[in-house]
Structure 1
Amino acid sequence: MTWILTNSARAFDLLNPRAENVLTTDIAHALSLVCRFNGHCAWHYSVAQHSLLVAYIIEKEGGTPEEQLAGLLHDAAEAYITDVTRPLKLLLLEAARQRENVWLTLVEQYASESGMRNVVSIRAAAMRILTTTEREGISLLLDVYQQIEQRIWLAIAERFHLAPELPDCVHRADMIALSTEKRDLLPEHPTPWECLEGYAPLAERILKMQPEIVRQQFHDRLLGLMAVTHRRRAAA
């Protein structure tokens, strides 16, 4: 079984996500109930509220409706697979990299000891082994979560006519939002977050909001931006 049942009673296949199964109501509902920071915050602060904040920052800094839409949906894949905390995600990626390097080193040592001349060919063969695929290209030895997340994101991007690569302004707004969330929602701690260097929090404070209110605000914002971007595409 590789699918989940969404709030709209749709079977959403994680290995073969399709744009037609991406519903605005599913995204708004799920993201309003998924809590940021694995729940280690002052109150239930949802991914949907974070996404609204990111879209607001982009708008405040003069971003286009298309950029605002990308900002609102930048974490939309979490409606289907939630998220992995940043430190764990980095550890998984580093573990995959080290595992790959160990395999390649062992193959090269074997080639050298066996007197085999074409080490490049052996390395290429090892890489083919390392990327043996299962179920439509999911790698067995690389970061599975990231690959599934990317597949879902591409289905979302297709559904909402977004570019696969997020604009730089989304990354910037995401970090400003994180800086603001750290100040307003997380406990004080002396260790600085290196990823936030150069990103100041907003002057405004984050307000506590009920999930139902956030869900409606997120969905209204999403439909409003879609209407604008659709008109712009039609007029182009």
Structure 2
Amino acid sequence: MKLAGWIQTYTGKKFWPLDPRPEDVDIEDIAHALAMQCRFGGHCLRFYSNAEHSILVSRFCGDDALAGLLHDGSEAYLLDMLSPIKQFMPDYKAAEKRCQSAVYRAFGLPETTPESVKLADRRVLRTERMQVMRDTGDPWVVDSEQPIDAEIVGWAPLRARGLFLQRFAELTQVAA
């Protein structure tokens, strides 16, 4: 028996965000939801999706590219909470950890995010600060990181979804 309530996903499946199971995870649901979510709670200069962010991370973490693509997969089911708020919500962080673990397991990956993905995530964040956020002169934690060599485009959701699924297919050799 599953705990708590369920959500209906893009593909029409039931998913229990507080009791996630790998068998309930679907790459199309992840791609679609991340493509529809704007980074930084929408406080960037133009629409920039979590899907595009994930594709960039996957390109800059070496052999852990699939984990890089899926590193924010839990956000497809729990949404993307702003870091300054998340740090004060231990229950949310625990739910996010369980959900991310289920996402990784669904695709045969270890349950924890590799260090190479964490570094690529910070480097992409540094690049995002430079390309899609206003320069206020206030320092960010990631300012010491080397930015990646890529242009952030700000793809429309449908394009971001398609490119996310294409990247998944490249990395798994499985058509999504």
Q: TM-score, normalised by structure 1?
A: 0.69
Counterpart position of 1:220: 166
Corresponding position: 1:205 with 2:151: yes
Aligned-residue offset at 1:197: 4.0
Corresponding position: 1:196 with 2:142: yes
Q: What one-letter code is carried by the residue in structure 1 that aligns with 2:73?
A: A
- Taking the TM superposition and a 5 Å limit, the aligned residue runs for 1:148-227 are 148-193=95-140, 195-227=141-173
Corresponding position: 1:85 with 2:44: no
SS in 2 for 1:174: helix
Q: Deviations over 1:33-71 (max 9, x none)?
A: 01100000111100000000101112xxxx11xx00000
- Taking the TM superposition and a 5 Å limit, the aligned residue runs for 1:1-236 are 2-58=5-61, 63-64=62-63, 67-90=64-87, 92=88, 143-193=90-140, 195-227=141-173
Bigger helix fraction = 1
Relative to structure 1, is the Cα distance of residues 168 and 76 closer, same or farther in structure 2, using a 3 angstrom cutoff?
same
Aligned-residue offset at 1:203: 3.6
Counting aligned pairs with the same residue, the percent is: 38
C-alpha distance in 2 between matches for 1:202 and 1:152: 28
How many residues matched? 171
Aligned-residue offset at 1:89: 1.6
Q: Deviations over 1:156-196 (max 9, x none)?
A: 11111111121111011001100100000001111111x21
On the 8 A contact 2:29/2:76 being kept in 1, the answer is yes
C-alpha distance in 2 between matches for 1:203 and 1:13: 38
Aligned-residue offset at 1:83: 1.8
Any gaps of 5 or more consecutive residues in structure 2?
none
RMSD: 1.4
Q: What one-letter code is carried by the residue in structure 1 that aligns with 2:124?
A: A
Look at both structures and tell me which one has the larger radius of gyration over its CA atoms: 1
On the 8 A contact 2:22/2:106 being kept in 1, the answer is yes
